[in-house]
Chains A and B, each alone.
Chain A
Amino acid sequence: MSRPVVEARGLTKIFPMPSGAVTALQEVDLLLDPGESVAITGPSGCGKSTLLHLLGCVDTPTSGQVLIDGVDVAGLNDAARSRLRLTTIGFVFQRFFLLPMLTAGENVDLPQLEAGAIRRDCRRRTLELLDYVGLADRVGHRPSQLSGGEMQRVAIARALANRPRIVLADEPTGELDEVTGEQIAALLHRVHLDGTTVLIATHDRNLASSAHRRLVLGGRDHRLHEPGVDR
């Protein structure tokens, strides 16, 4: 049996606020096997993004453990966590976060070069990825010259640049219209079919239904449940 790509054990996240502590996650457990596609749904503010941030090593839990490829990330320093994010995790954000002064191609080049790729190999991979997301003819275009859907495609290409073990997509269709959202959902589904583990946080039913497994976050207990389970 292969090792899980991501494992969360008893994850709790409490945000201290002036008006009192707010619990976002409570004792959340999650196991993602290689090649799985999981959608986490739930109402706004239920902690979906928080869970992705904890699993993506950009935040630390109040308690609990996150293991990426069997490694407890709590024991890693900032540089090691950065390296882990660069090589093992691919992020897709709701707001894309493409660098506006770079072209689509350069945005996809960026994480590869940061990881130490050779420029020629990096460009070849970028062209492959932009072709994969259907933007082979937009390599030299800046984000301001692309539509929202195209920007998210570039962001997905960027997330795949260093061949990550898992792609974490946080509301990837949140800024897009329904038709474009469906296209992005289809693209993420294809990424999953091509062997990459995908974890999507969304309240978009179409997007969630394209996933292999669906979990619901929220409710009074701030835990993950199978859909339809009474909590």
Chain B
Amino acid sequence: MTLAILAWRTLLRQPARAVLGVFGVAAVAALLFDMLLLAGGLATSFRDLLDSTGFDVRVTATEALPGMGPYLEGVRDLVADIDELDHVADVAAVALGTIAARGSEDQDAISLPIQGYLGTVRGGWKVLEGDDLPREPASSGTVVINRAAAEQLDLDPGDELLLGGLKIRDRWSAPPQRCRITGIVEFVFEQGHTPSAAMDLDTMEGLAGRKPDRAAFLMVSSAPASADIETVQAIRDRFPNLHAYSNAQYVQQFQAHDFSYFRQIAVVISTLTVFFTFLLLTALLTVSVNQRLGEVAGLRALGFRRRRIVAMLMWETAVTVVVGLVLAVAVGAALAVVLDGILHDMPGLPDRLHFFVYRHGVLVRFVGLILGTGLLSLVYPAWIAARLPIAATLRKEITT
């Protein structure tokens, strides 16, 4: 009869209490699991989105986020100059704008956000239908749109998209410009059912009727032999007025400011869940020990050493915690999907950005925290069982 079997039998003796204990641990631990997913989930997801574009460095005019601050001027020369740096493999400039768009002349216009690319056009989207934008310079006059834009304007690849123009009382005061749709795409930072489009910068500037030669930010990919941080330093050295950040630095900035709320909430709730797990297990084990003090005293009188009694309790805790842990991971994973869906309904969030993200090490941290809490919760009941006065307890058992 091993102590593990003895502990298992002890738990089965009060199946309802054992099941309640396991469910209690599972419920609280599931919440802890979710909070660990949340603590760094947003940053991880954001980093994945940034990395998925294929560029590892962003360059802006100021410390403001791309698109939120002043534009970079003289962007064509800037792209050419950065492209010449040894650490750089590729550069793309991205301009952002919004324009009125129609599928046909008699259709009402919708407001269509547009990204204009200069340089390497890739990574910002995935082609779902049709073709990508052709390579420069043949891309002029072509556009890719997302599924939302295609559905709202009732357009397919090969159709023409009417952009800009001014229509007064059913008559064009200034005619729109026509762009051929090469494909339907999904943008990396796509937001719900918001229509969106991308084209090259020349086409975009052509729509405005002028060439301001500006871009919101640059995306740079490091040469194979260069680390992103080296590329950042090279750009900073060459262009001290510009602000260059690697994806990791960019995410760090976000974590320190914009994402800090989620981290703080996760830390507070994690702490509470660990505390509740501790209270729950301590209460369960203490009640369990107190209910069988006579048996424990009997075992001690028969010659069981203190540490064997503690080991038996440890096995009981381990069984409760381990079964609870397995359930917690399953419940936590399901709950994370639901909670992620709820948080995802917040406006302005990219579809592919997630709050609850599994990362390397989360499971180890989770198991470590719960097992550590289990061990801690064992201290008081184990102390009761190990230090109980054998004779006094036996006497008390007889007289009650």
Contact = CB atoms under 8 A, between A and B. Distances in A.
A binds B: yes
Interface of A: 49-50, 53, 56, 58-59, 78-79, 82-87, 89, 91, 93-95, 97, 99-102, 106, 109-111, 113-115, 158, 162, 170-171, 174
Contacts of B304: 82, 86, 114
A91 B1 contact: no
B1 A109 contact: yes
4 nearest A-B residue pairs (beta carbon): A86-B303, A97-B298, A59-B391, A53-B391
Nearest to A15: B392
B248 to A, nearest CB: 55
Nearest to A13: B391
Interface of B: prevailing SS? helix
A85 to B, nearest CB: 4
B398 A49 contact: yes
Interface stretch (B8-16, B83-91, B176-184): B8-16
Contacts of B299: 97, 99
Nearest to A168: B301
A222 to B, nearest CB: 17
A158 B302 contact: yes
B308 interface: yes
A82 B295 contact: no
B304 to A, nearest CB: 6
Contact of B303 (A85, A101, A174): A85
Contacts of A84: 303
B295 A49 contact: no
B17 interface: no
Given A85-B303, A106-B1, A53 B394 contact: yes
A176 B389 CA distance: 27
Interface string B381-400: 00000000111101101100
Chain A CB count within 10 A is highest, among B1, B300, B304, B397, for B1
A200 to B, nearest CB: 15
Given A94-B398, A97-B295, A78 B306 contact: yes
Contacts, number: 85
Chain B CB count within 10 A is highest, among A91, A97, A106, for A97
B300 A82 contact: yes
A79 B305 contact: yes
Contacts of A59: 389-392
Contacts of B394: 49, 53, 58, 93, 170
B294 interface: yes
Interface in B1-34: 1, 6, 9-10, 12-13
Contacts of A50: 391
Nearest to A122: B1
Contacts of A174: 398
Interface in B58-101: none
A58 B391 contact: yes
Contact of B9 (A58, A78, A95, A102): A102
A100 B13 contact: yes
B298 A83 contact: no
Nearest to A107: B1
A151 B300 CA distance: 19
Nearest to A85: B303
Given A53-B394, A91-B302, A101 B1 contact: no
Interface string B284-308: 0000000000110111111111101
Contacts of A110: 1, 302
Chain A CB count within 10 A is highest, among B300, B301, B303, for B303
A86 B300 CA distance: 9
Contact of A58 (B10, B13, B301, B397): B301
Contacts of A171: 398
